[in-house]
Structure 1
Amino acid sequence: MGVYWAIAVRSFRRFSTYRIATLSGAFTNTVFGFIFCGVYLTLWEQRPNLGGYDVTDALTFVWLQQGLLMPIGIFGASTTVELGERVRTGEIAVDLYRPTHLMWWWLSVDAGRAGFQLIARGGVPLLVGSLVFDLRFPSSVLQGLAVAVALFFGIVVSFGLRYLVALSGFWITDSRGLENLALMLSLFFSGTILPLVVFPGWFGEFARATPWAATMQVPIDVWLGQDAPVQALAFQLGWLVVLLVAGGLATVLATRKVVIHGG
């Protein structure tokens, strides 16, 4: 575990060097926060309590959403994009020579990235939003702890999805098409475009049952008190286990494929 902790720390330091990009990103998220607030205020004025959210819930969702986009890696984090590129170029062979498990290595790298993004960009939009709007915050220490665990689970679930997409390059040669498809699915089913609670009927139930819902929608609902923490965390943990097991199996199969091809 000490090796993977060291990898995460070094990854944190690596991403902390991009100060201008981080400040620019935080500013952009804040601007989009105000744009989304205008849209949501109009929507909730027409449909009060839409999806069980009141106006305060909806506005809080916006600022949490903007703060979590980069930590969770909704748009595809640079760590897994880098992994996909290494698969395409064959540089992944160097990774396989390391005395560490490929998936745990990249999970550690992604954890360091997510930790920095959470500190540097996660809180800025929420802080600005709370100065302008009346937002909702966890009402107890227990709820705050549940939010922290839900956020951690959400980041790992997101990594599991992105890792599988990156490793698909072992079989389809170029994973960029699948990466674009995964991006669209992530934007829609994570709650980035609209909270999943606004989708009615069977489609809403389906959307909230996908692994993408576990990345952003569930942690935010735990924050808002919309979901029972135990059930929400169990849902996330289920997807986390499925994806990491699938990632482990994909790693074994990919490694065998490299050996067969002589790479």
Structure 2
Amino acid sequence: MATLAGVFTNTVFGFIVAYTYIALWDQRPHLGGYDEAQALTYVWLGQAVLATMAMMGGGFEDDLIERVRSGDIAIDLYRPADLQLWWMAGDLGRAAYQLLVRGTLPMALGALAFDLALPVNPFVWIAFLVSVFLGVVVSFAVRYLVALTSFWLLDGAGVAQMTSLVALFFSGMLLPLNVFPGALGELARVLPWSALLQIPADVLLGKHTGWGLVGAYAFQLGWAAVLLVAGRMLQSAATRKVVVQGG
């Protein structure tokens, strides 16, 4: 029922944003380098990956924050499994389910209602799925860092909520990052959140091909590596001396 409610919500917002984009692109054709069909495809793709990338929460971070708050994290640290890899494996499974169920249905409904610029080449879809996978890893790495702050704050909900707002803005969920002006656009495109939506969308729309596609993958891999290493270092600092509530 929660998944069906999510599909309904994403579809409703997809129609709202789609008609907003139609009005905007009617006044500014080829805004951000997209024609209207590509802009509408971007809208529905954003709704398809919103839950996949857990931009508004709903991933593992709430559970990890709660386990730190309750002290159950001490049990996790005794288990013969790496803490970071354990949570990442679960998050990858969650993301795959969300993409398959909550992602494809709104996209299909959007394709029925609007003229979308969907590729016919299967290799483009494969390249897109690879980019989505890398985006999920980057998303996990960011949220893992956020969750680890609860070792010091005891309740990381506030940090998680602020990070969600930043993710929605700098991922391109509100508007494509190509539309952002001047220095703001340049900054937005080099931040890790652009790997969540902007890059996968451009891969699907054929903006990244050949060496450009390699560069897009390298950008996502680079941020994933940097953030995962940072998460590993923060985890080491947090677990060097663990003090949990109640003992």
TM-score normalised by the shorter chain: which range applies?
Answer: over 0.9
- For 1:146, the aligned partner's letter is A
Q: Which moved more, 1:135-144 or 1:184-193?
A: 135-144
Q: Match for residue 222 of structure 2?
A: 238
| Cα distance, 1:142 vs structure 2 | 2.8
State the partner residue of 1:249.
233
Matches within 5 A, 1:36-55: 36-55=17-36
Say if 1:71 and 1:115, in contact at 8 Å, map to a contact too: yes
Specify the SS of the correspondent of 1:233: helix
SS at structure 2 position matched to 1:122: helix
Residue 101 (structure 1) shift: 0.4
Deviation at 1:46, TM superposition (A): 0.8
Structure 1 unaligned spans of 5+: 1-19
What one-letter code is carried by the residue in structure 1 that aligns with 2:218?
A: A
RMSD: 1.6
Matched, 1:61 2:79: no
**1: distance between equivalents of 2:58 and 2:225?**
21
Structure 2: distance between partners of 1:262 and 1:250: 23
| Cα contact 2:70–2:244 (8 A) shared by 1 | no
- Asked if the contact 1:40–1:59 (Cα under 8 Å) also holds between the matched residues in 2, the reply is yes
Alignment partner for residue 35 of structure 1, among 6, 11, 16?
16
Q: CA deviation at 1:140?
A: 2.4
Q: Please name the residue that 1:9 is paired with.
A: none
Q: 1:100 aligns with which of 81, 85, 88?
A: 81
Report Cα offsets for 1:193-252 as digits up to 9, x if no partner: 111111011110100110011111111111111233111111101000001111111111
1:95 partner amino acid: D
Corresponding position of 2:72: 91
Instruction: Tell me by how many angstroms 1:261 deviates.
Output: 9.8
Q: TM-score, normalised by structure 2?
A: 0.94
Is the partner of 1:138 in helix, strand or coil?
coil
Q: Which residue of 1 aligns with 2:181?
A: 200
**Structure 2 unaligned blocks of 5 or more:** none
Distance 1:123 1:142 in 2: 18
**Contact 1:170/1:257 (CA < 8 Å) preserved in 2?**
no
Cα distance 1:27–1:262, how it changes in 2: closer, same or farther (>3 A)? closer
Match for residue 111 of structure 2? 130
| 1:31 CA drift (Å) | 0.9
* Alignment CA distance shift 1:22-1:262 (3 Å): closer
CA distance in 2 between partners of 1:95 and 1:106 (Å): 11
Residues 143 and 222 in structure 1, CA contact (< 8 A), matched pair in contact too:
yes
More helix by share: 1
1:243–1:262 Cα change, 3 Å: farther
- CA offset at residue 103 of structure 1? 0.4
Secondary structure of residue in 2 paired with 1:76: coil
1:143 and 2:145 aligned = no
What SS class does the counterpart of residue 154 from structure 1 fall into? helix
Alignment of 1:178-197 (within 5 A): 178-197=159-178
Given that residues 22 and 121 in structure 1 are in contact (C-alpha distance below 8 angstroms), is that contact kept between their aligned partners in structure 2? yes
Mapped contact 2:68–2:244 kept (Cα < 8 A): no
Spell out, residue by residue over 1:178-197, the C-alpha distance to the aligned partner (whole angstroms, 9 max, x if none): 11210111110011111111
Q: How many residues align?
A: 244
- Contact 2:62/2:157 (8 A) holds in 1: no
Counterparts of 1:155 and 1:56 in 2: how far apart (Å)?
26
Q: Is the 8 A contact 1:72 1:114 kept in 2?
A: yes
Matched to 1:255, the amino acid is: T
Amino acid of the residue matched to residue 188 of structure 2? Answer: A
Deviation at 1:146, TM superposition (A): 1.3
Q: 1:152-175: per-residue Cα shift (whole Å, max 9, x none)?
A: 000010000000000011122321
Identity %: 53
